[in-house]
A = this chain, B = another copy of it.
Amino acid sequence: MQDKTFLMIPGPTPVPESVLLDMAKHPIGHRSSEFSKILEKVYSNLKLIFETKNDVFVYTSSGTGAMEAAISNLVNEGDKVLSLVIGNFGERWAKIAKAFGADVEKISVPYGQAINPEDLKKRLNEDVNKEIKFVTLTHNETSTGVTNDLKTLCEIIRNHGAISIVDGVTSVCAMPLKMDEWGIDVLVSGSQKGFMIPPGLAFLSANERAFEIHKNCKRSGFYFNWDAYKKSVNANSTPYTPAVNLFVALDTALNMILKEGLETIQNRHKKHSLALRAAIRAINLKLFVEDDSIASCAITSILPPEDISVPDIRSTLKNDFDIVVANGQNDLKDKIFRMGTLGFVCDRDILAAVSALEATLYKLGHKFEPGSGVKAAIEILTK
């Protein structure tokens, strides 16, 4: 039905009506005092969300832009970068670092698994000459639905002395992530995920250690250069014309987020993923990530029944029930489908999704007890 589509992909995620309407207001001048007041609130609220005392820069770009900003402001040609790869977005760090001339080494695991902290510890212990200057890693891997044990990994990196560069694109807001307490050096995120606004803004925060290294970076580019953003943040301004309407939307969304409370939001995400995972098991489907301790609470990857294809499931969900879920990426295409429960999602959405998935599978001939998934979800949601 027209205008009825509900997105359950890992991003863009659903956007609250009040955010959409504030975004639709006529743009205001980006050098006006009104806009400066909005920036002051936004910059201050972002520190609360990132749980940091460092500045948080806002780039008008995709999340990938903030990833580039992390690398281009730190890495010199020939610098050794260790990339922890558990999926496509971990791979992206390695690609960006290579594009900037880094000497990239990877620790990779089969997709669907997390980095074993012992493997990282072993590799870093071997690096007695401290050649590894940077370690890139992904908190929540969108392509597989796996969450790394970020706290432990960053502690190991900190003990070695390298700079940790963390992709928090799909994790900030949705799951506990304490930048300062966990000793994260550089953290990036994107607007179209837990922040509940459309894509177009990306966030980056770097601590003093990272800024010290940045001073010796020979080519930090121009558009993403930290120095310009540092100066602007302190003046409640932006270096270049920002996506004004998205900032207005962000202001509204951040107020909503802080009103609901970070911990409440994170518990909601946890509960929703547990309910969804229980339902998936109840209706005789297999989870791509069986281990609850590493399963993402933002994206759940699901294997189709042997005799039903991912495209059939996705098109039936969309055409009959107006729910969009994501396919797998690259090698996982048509092998899994991914359901996002990220951002502006309520209990009703989970029930609607589970029952629509049941209806879809029933129509496509899957063998299970209709209603069993909803029952499993209800038990968790009403706890």
Contacts and interface: CB of A to CB of B under 8 A. Distances in A.
A62 B200 contact: no
Given A62-B242, A241-B12, A25 B20 contact: yes
B199 A60 contact: yes
Contacts of A27: 7, 12, 15, 192, 198-199
A199 B61 contact: no
A3 B21 CA distance: 13
A198 B24 CA distance: 10
A114 interface: no
B221 A100 contact: yes
A254 B245 CA distance: 19
Interface stretch (A64-72, A120-128, A229-237, A295-303): A64-72
A222 B63 contact: no
A25 B14 CA distance: 11
Contacts of A100: 219, 221-222
A26 interface: yes
A200 B60 contact: yes
Contacts of A99: 219-222, 225
Contacts of A9: 29
Interface in A49-93: 60-65, 67-68, 71-72
A23 interface: yes
A102 to B, nearest CB: 11
Size class of the contact patch on chain A = 35 or more
Contacts of A129: none
Nearest to A66: B223
A253 to B, nearest CB: 13
Interface in A175-208: 190, 192, 198-200
Contacts of A24: 20-21, 23-24
Interface core residue of A11, A14, A192, A245 (most chain B CB under 10 Å): A245
A30 interface: yes
A221 B61 contact: no
Contacts of A192: 27, 241, 244
A3 B34 CA distance: 12
A281 interface: no
A351 to B, nearest CB: 20
Given A11-B241, A200-B245, A241-B199, A65 B29 contact: no
A26 B30 contact: no
Interface core residue of A12, A23, A25, A224 (most chain B CB under 10 Å): A12
Contacts of A31: 326
B30 A199 contact: yes
Interface in A1-45: 3, 5, 7, 9, 11-12, 14-15, 20-21, 23-32
A220 B98 CA distance: 11
B64 A223 contact: yes
Nearest to A92: B222
Contacts of A14: 26
4 smallest beta-carbon distances between A and B, as pairs: A200-B243, A24-B24, A12-B27, A62-B240
Interface of A: 3, 5, 7, 9, 11-12, 14-15, 20-21, 23-32, 60-65, 67-68, 71-72, 95-96, 99-101, 190, 192, 198-200, 219-225, 239-246, 324, 326
14 contacts: A3-B26, A11-B241, A14-B26, A23-B23, A27-B199, A62-B240, A71-B222, A96-B222, A100-B221, A192-B241, A199-B242, A200-B200, A200-B243, A219-B219
